[in-house]
Structure 1
């Protein structure tokens, strides 16, 4: 089975940013995204997701490398300083590259 390499951009951040991040990733070229609730502990403490204001989301985008880098740079420049956030990019194999 033939597969094709794309990038998986993952952003874990405060749920309060969901609406604006969705607008940003679409504006910056993502064809789609997946959002899930997230819990954990990091540099800014534990996030239990028990309350809306204490919740985290995990936003994932599968895309080509230029799109992943463009979104990552934008998010870093506009949100890193003021929000609890991590961002990472990894290689993934996809079977239908035209979707991404």
Structure 2
């Protein structure tokens, strides 16, 4: 009934929303959710009132796709942008949607 998948969460500068969205889909994700995000990290505080702020992209994918997304972030985003990412195990219903 339940299927194991990975939840990939990425927090990045809002200016990168379109690029990141395309990249996540190109790695095999079928969809994602984006919300506004702000907080404090090693590159200093990113307050919500700063121009653009941050976004949080969440996608549920197979482990293979999650690994591809993380590799893409490691090479194309982490060296150049304020970006954080993590993945965790989730169990889902309606496997065909993911």
TM value normalised by structure 1: 0.94
Residue of structure 2 in register with 1:83 after alignment: 81
Residue of structure 1 in register with 2:18 after alignment: 19
Report the structure, 1 or 2, having the larger strand content.
Answer: 1
Within 5 A, what are the aligned runs for 1:1-100?
A: 2-53=1-52, 55-100=53-98
1:84 CA displacement: 0.6
Paired with 1:88 and 1:80, the residues of 2 have a C-alpha distance of 13
TM value normalised by structure 2: 0.95
CA deviation vs aligned residue, 1:40-62 (integer Å, no higher than 9, x gap): 00000011121334x01000110
Q: Could you say what the CA RMSD is over the residues aligned between the two structures, in angstroms?
A: 0.9
1:4 CA displacement: 1.2
CA deviation vs aligned residue, 1:61-87 (integer Å, no higher than 9, x gap): 101000010011011100101111111
